[in-house]
């Protein structure tokens, strides 16, 4: 960061002494006049006497205060005829309270109906979803169990039938081969 140089402003001075009366420090230029010491305060001019006495202002203040209080009292007594009586105010409060209770009860009844309807729809949707998922899982599990059971039973039955058929076929074939080699045994003779 570099320092930017500005030319110094010179105030009115006489023979190297600035207007403020302080000589410049060596190596520093003299300060402008507006940086000098403050001048002696001027004497405060006396307040000229007012044309009205203290008694005048007390009287005016008292009159204004009495006027304001009087206006307030007059307004109070004139306004009494336009204000509602305590019984009338109490009746309006009771009427508003009853109206608020009725509105609150109706609002709660409407809310209960809406909530019951929403609950019914949610239960119905959950029931349908659970039934569908249960049916699908049951079908898949039953199909798998049936396939495994059928495959096992089919294998066992096939093995039994195949063994029996093999034995019969083997016996018959063995008999025929024995008859060819030994005709005495096959002819009964």
71 within a domain of the structure (yes/no)? no
- pLDDT, mean over the chain: 78
8 within a domain of the structure (yes/no)? no
146 within a domain of the structure (yes/no)? yes
How confident is the model over 103-120, as pLDDT tens digits? 999 999 999 999 999 999
Alpha-carbon radius of gyration of the chain:
62
Rounded-to-integer distance, Cα 108 and Cα 115, Å? 10
pLDDT of residue 163: 86
Distances (CA, A) of 178 to 23, 157, 163, 182: 155, 31, 22, 6
pLDDT of residue 112: 95
pLDDT of residue 122: 92
Token pair in block for residue 62: 């008292």
100 within a domain of the structure (yes/no)? yes
pLDDT of residue 172: 78
92 within a domain of the structure (yes/no)? yes
pLDDT of residue 54: 84
63 within a domain of the structure (yes/no)? no
Rounded-to-integer distance, Cα 142 and Cα 154, Å? 17
- Do 18 and 24 contact (CB within 8 A), yes or no? yes
52 within a domain of the structure (yes/no)? no
Rounded-to-integer distance, Cα 86 and Cα 144, Å? 85
130 within a domain of the structure (yes/no)? yes
pLDDT of residue 138: 83
Q: pTM for the complete prediction? A: 0.34
For residue 97, what are the domain limits? 86-154
| Residues in the chain, pLDDT under 70 | 1-3, 6-46, 48-50, 178-189
> 38: helix, coil or strand?
coil
Token pair in block for residue 115: 């909530």
- Do 19 and 33 contact (CB within 8 A), yes or no? yes
- Do 32 and 9 contact (CB within 8 A), yes or no? yes
Q: How many domains is the chain built from?
A: 1
């Amino acid at each position: 960061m570099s320092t930017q140089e500005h030319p110094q402003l010179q105030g009115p001075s006489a023979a190297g002494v600035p207007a403020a009366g302080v000589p410049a420090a060596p190596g520093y230029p003299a300060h402008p006049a507006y940086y000098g010491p403050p001048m002696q305060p001027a004497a405060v001019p006396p307040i000229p006497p007012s044309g009205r006495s203290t008694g005048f202002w007390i009287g005016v203040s008292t009159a204004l205060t009495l006027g304001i209080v009087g206006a307030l009292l007059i307004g109070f007594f004139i306004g009494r005829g336009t204000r509602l009586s305590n019984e009338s105010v109490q009746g309006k409060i009771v009427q508003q309270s009853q109206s608020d209770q009725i509105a609150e009860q109706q609002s709660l009844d409407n809310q209960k109906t809406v909530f019951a309807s929403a609950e019914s729809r949610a239960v119905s949707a959950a029931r349908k979803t659970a039934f569908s998922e249960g049916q699908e899982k049951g079908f898949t599990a039953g199909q798998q169990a049936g396939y495994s059971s059928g495959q096992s039973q089919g294998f066992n039955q096939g093995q039994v039938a195949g063994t029996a058929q093999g034995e019969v076929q083997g016996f018959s074939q063995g008999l025929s081969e024995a008859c060819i080699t030994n005709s005495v045994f096959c002819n009964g003779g």
